[in-house]
Amino acid sequence: MSAKPIYHCPFCAEEDLRPVEEPRGAWACGSCVRVFSVTLHRTDLAEAGPVTREEQR
């Protein structure tokens, strides 16, 4: 599973993110200097409801 790029730091909400070599798939925030990784567990379409499903067609 490949990591999708993320656009905002989940800790400080800045956009100064860059991928790091180690650990694999992790990101470093240039603003709060945290190194973190983000895991997508699933896309829950049942929870999203019929409106969202309609838009994805």
Token digits of residue 17? 């993110």
For Zn ion, the closer CB: 1 or 33: 33
| Interatomic CA distance for residues 49 and 52, integer angstroms | 6
Number of residues that bind Zn ion (CB under 5 A): 7
Burial label for 57, CB within 10 Å (0-12, 13-18, 19+), is exposed
For Zn ion, the closer CB: 12 or 45: 12
Q: Which of residues 1-57 bind Zn ion (CB under 5 A)?
A: 9, 11-12, 14, 29, 31-32
Which residues of the chain form contacts with Zn ion (CB under 5 A)?
Answer: 9, 11-12, 14, 29, 31-32
